[in-house]
Structure 1
Amino acid sequence: MWSLKHKTHNCERCGNNFSSRSALRHHFHVKHLGRIHCDTCGQKFSQGGPQDHVEIYYEKTHPGNQGSGCNIERETRFVAPEMSMSCRMCSKQFGTVHAREHHEKQEHHFTAGKRAQMSMAFKPESILAYKTPLEVEKFLEAKLRPNSVLRRACASEVEGMIALIKEVFPLPVAHVSKGGSYIKGTDSQDWSDVDVVVFSDAFKSLEDCKRKTPAILEDLVGNLLTSSWRNRLIFGERTPFSLRLYFKCSKAHHGHSFDIMPCYDILGPALLTGFKKSFYNQIYLCNDNDKIQLYSMALLKYQVAFVKASTERVKNLMRLVKHWFRTSFTKPTEENKFRRLPSSYAMELLTIYVWELAGKPVFFSFVQGLRAVLKLLVQYQEICIVWHRYYKPTCTVFQKVISKQNRPIVLDPVNPTFNVCANSNAWDEVAHVARQSLLKPLFNGIRAKEPWLFTNNW
């Protein structure tokens, strides 16, 4: 265990420690002085800059939505912007989770009772009222798992859409990386998303990509609107680095949510062993969140491969976990509009971890598996999950990151700089809802059986 032998000076704004007052003053002047915190989106920006933050930034990133505030419902897929230390009610940032929680209690009277009221809402379609494992199996097959015949029909449709994106993309396309629940095989009948990262050799550098991407996305929208599939596309919000649209399949009444992201091909065709250390170090040392987003896009296919390698039964358990999420929580209100629940990617990784603890069984009870995930969520403050397949315990970046992270920690299996749990500021709400879910009829009288006996210690 490490211990501090000397007095440190703590920055109240970001929580970093410094060995002297002069070092703390220098840090505060450089990092915080003259920077304004936006109560609407939680970002910090330079005071007196050349462009007005609200009128310029918001109008560019949310066209047609001026005057309604920031639309930040989109899940952050690649970057964890210290969301865990932002207030759920006003989005102010704090140096520690403890400081944030103290602020919520003092300023917003966010008591345990209020948390319960604002977090939990079991919907009628929840499976928690079921009483037997067989009912869960039937529900999974009837309501969650995509129909195999329909999925085969979707395959050609989705590939056709990706081919269209490549055809009308404003720059020459070197190759694409595909991700999302549809590609990983964790989609459900009522939700399917596809991520498409488009790599082009026309980008000279990461900075060049960052500068050109907004205009490229604008041109891409125009090209898609003049294509023969324009009537099957519904355009959603646009960020500086991605375009979201809903693609309607020609058969049946369903579709797929697409996120299209241009990117500089910094990795090339493979993440070579000799290059990984340098690449991870570049991400760790980068202070530009936009560039970190672009760096991390290059890792998409490795994230997909990690989840996709799971067995079909594990993917079905992921569907159940995500269904529990969708049917157990309230939607944010105007009062707590900055609440951010964990991402679906975080839930997938937690499910894989629990399955691996059970010894990777081929056949297992879904009720036992779901119970194990919920019991793990209850003790979120003890979660520290790392996979050493792409980076080793001796990796310098890994050692630096793990020493600084607040729990819960689930490090991205392919990116040691990314704690996927840091995208959420509501883990206490997740634990509360999980604890109440374990009291529901589905788990009444259920005891851990082999290979799930380890959950008795939870």
Structure 2
Amino acid sequence: MSHGGNSESLGIAAKDLDRFIQDHLKPNPQFQKQVSKAIDVILGCLRENCVYKASRVSKGGSFGRGTDLRGGCDAELVIFLNCFHDYKDQRARRTEILNEMQAQLETCWQDPDSGLSLRFPDQTVTRALQLQLVSTALESWMDVTLLPVFDAVGEGGLQPVPWRLIPLLAMLHSLGCQGSEHATCFSELRRDFVNTRPTKLKSLILLVKHWYRQPACAALPPVYALELLTIFAWEQGCGKESFKMAEGLKTVLELVQQHQQLCVYWTVNYSFEDPDSRTHLLGQLQKKRPLVLDPADPTWNVGQGSWELLAQEAAALGTQACLRSREGVSVQPWNVMVRGGVPGVADAVGPPPPVAFPCWCNVFSCWEHTLLSP
């Protein structure tokens, strides 16, 4: 999409934002029903015809998290296969299995009375099979990624309890895990962290994503980082299921403009009480900003990417009608508290120092601060 459309696309009154989200951003219910049925058909086809059997499937992406926008969205289907004995086996057999999956889908797919077509775009991800579900009539599409993976943690996946991070990573490493291959183990935790949020908060996420998706720039941080930043802003500044949408949007935009100070993390799945986990997390929290740690997998800094363009667009949107009252007064953001200093340094404890803008970005004193569990 073309750069520069952010401000114009939200040139509506602040009082009309909720209606704008309902009428233009929330996904078409008919399309959601269609793709849900189509995904079941795809998985059924693979289950019945593919020689490689799955122990379970995790449905993620924006579709699984409940943050899918009208028009275009994505779904990630992590398929845990019984045939893999470890990660080395997964790497050795992955291409063969991906080819088998595509062949089966091309053979058995028939439009399941849903008005959808199944397309296979150029495959740009070596670890996955990419396909697209398209509804011409509804002007909607969904990018679907199939990921056949080794089930390292067993049936049921990781449960939402505080894990001892280092022993878990050591276990995965002993099974031949390399690089980011462990990420699929956390797919359910990642999905549920967002999907269980209040409906209006997810509506705010849709609004932020609508603003975010206007500029075409591959170097931007992933949209998932904006989802997490929106949740963080709501947790720290509001926490209520009823709020003014303009205030929430203004808060997120202020945080984007202060990206050089961003340090966002959660301890809902990993605790500082475990010494090894604490040491690892403290090391992460002292890295260069912006830092937005995945709440499911704190080895992943989701905040990597170029924030400068987003910051410019955020500043431009601040002058628009959607962030002003009927009288033309600028909407005030929520107070998101800031704590000075570097994590682990004693003089970081105490009242926050004065800062230049009312929606404060946080540089946490991590031994003192724990975010609210979702």
TM-score bucket (shorter structure): 0.7 to 0.9
Aligned to 1:383: 262
Matching residue's letter, 1:122 = G
Between the aligned partners of 2:87 and 2:106, the Cα distance in structure 1 is 28
Between the aligned partners of 1:171 and 1:317, the Cα distance in structure 2 is 40
Aligned to 2:200: 313
Aligned to 1:27: none
Between the aligned partners of 1:428 and 1:247, the Cα distance in structure 2 is 33
The partner residue of 2:4 within 118, 121, 126 is 121
SS at match of 1:255: strand
Aligned to 2:363: none
Matching residue's letter, 1:236 = P
Between the aligned partners of 2:44 and 2:135, the Cα distance in structure 1 is 15
> In the TM superposition, what is the alpha-carbon distance from 1:301 to its structure 2 partner?
0.9
Aligned to 1:278: 167
Aligned to 2:320: 440
Between the aligned partners of 1:447 and 1:247, the Cα distance in structure 2 is 40
Preserved contact between residue 14 and residue 323 of structure 2 (Cα < 8 Å): no
Is 2:122 the partner of 1:237? yes
> In the TM superposition, what is the alpha-carbon distance from 1:440 to its structure 2 partner?
2.6
Between the aligned partners of 1:207 and 1:236, the Cα distance in structure 2 is 28
> In the TM superposition, what is the alpha-carbon distance from 1:389 to its structure 2 partner?
0.8
Is 2:163 the partner of 1:163? no
Between the aligned partners of 1:405 and 1:169, the Cα distance in structure 2 is 45
Runs of at least 5 residues in structure 1 that lack an aligned partner in the other structure: 1-118, 333-338
Preserved contact between residue 47 and residue 54 of structure 2 (Cα < 8 Å): yes
SS at match of 1:143: helix
Instruction: String of CA shifts for 1:322-372, please: whole Å, max 9, x gaps.
Output: 100122x2x24xxxxxx5111121111111000101231111111111100
SS at match of 2:300: strand
The partner residue of 1:144 within 25, 31, 36 is 25
Aligned to 2:243: 364
TM-score by length of 2: 0.78
Flag the 1:183–1:237 CA change in 2: closer, same or farther, 3 A.
Answer: same
Between the aligned partners of 2:163 and 2:330, the Cα distance in structure 1 is 49
Between the aligned partners of 1:453 and 1:399, the Cα distance in structure 2 is 26
Between the aligned partners of 1:344 and 1:208, the Cα distance in structure 2 is 32
Between the aligned partners of 2:35 and 2:207, the Cα distance in structure 1 is 22
Aligned to 1:259: 145
Between the aligned partners of 1:166 and 1:248, the Cα distance in structure 2 is 23
Between the aligned partners of 1:394 and 1:124, the Cα distance in structure 2 is 45
Q: What is the 5 A alignment of 1:40-119?
A: none
Flag the 1:141–1:457 CA change in 2: closer, same or farther, 3 A.
Answer: closer
Is 2:93 the partner of 1:212? yes
Q: What is the 5 A alignment of 1:346-425?
A: 346-395=225-274, 396-397=276-277, 399-400=279-280, 401-403=283-285, 405-422=287-304, 424=305
Matching residue's letter, 1:303 = R
SS at match of 1:393: coil
Between the aligned partners of 2:308 and 2:270, the Cα distance in structure 1 is 30
Aligned to 2:358: 456
> In the TM superposition, what is the alpha-carbon distance from 1:177 to its structure 2 partner?
0.8
> In the TM superposition, what is the alpha-carbon distance from 1:158 to its structure 2 partner?
3.0
Instruction: String of CA shifts for 1:260-288, please: whole Å, max 9, x gaps.
Output: 001000011232667754223456x79x9
Larger radius of gyration: 1
Matching residue's letter, 1:297 = T
| Equivalent residues, number | 324
Aligned to 2:180: 293
The partner residue of 2:189 within 299, 302, 325 is 302
Flag the 1:398–1:171 CA change in 2: closer, same or farther, 3 A.
Answer: farther
Between the aligned partners of 1:201 and 1:456, the Cα distance in structure 2 is 53
The partner residue of 1:196 within 69, 77, 93 is 77
Runs of at least 5 residues in structure 2 that lack an aligned partner in the other structure: 338-356, 361-374
SS at match of 1:420: coil
Instruction: String of CA shifts for 1:109-157, please: whole Å, max 9, x gaps.
Output: xxxxxxxxxx951258611x22x22322222111111244553444333
Between the aligned partners of 1:209 and 1:436, the Cα distance in structure 2 is 47
- Residue identity (%): 25
SS at match of 2:319: coil
Aligned to 2:352: none
Between the aligned partners of 1:181 and 1:291, the Cα distance in structure 2 is 26
Preserved contact between residue 170 and residue 216 of structure 1 (Cα < 8 Å): no
> In the TM superposition, what is the alpha-carbon distance from 1:452 to its structure 2 partner?
4.8
Aligned to 2:311: 431
Preserved contact between residue 409 and residue 420 of structure 1 (Cα < 8 Å): yes
> In the TM superposition, what is the alpha-carbon distance from 1:453 to its structure 2 partner?
7.6
Q: CA RMSD in A?
A: 2.7
> In the TM superposition, what is the alpha-carbon distance from 1:250 to its structure 2 partner?
9.2
Preserved contact between residue 246 and residue 331 of structure 2 (Cα < 8 Å): no
> In the TM superposition, what is the alpha-carbon distance from 1:205 to its structure 2 partner?
0.7
Preserved contact between residue 7 and residue 320 of structure 2 (Cα < 8 Å): no
Between the aligned partners of 2:137 and 2:319, the Cα distance in structure 1 is 41
> In the TM superposition, what is the alpha-carbon distance from 1:435 to its structure 2 partner?
1.8
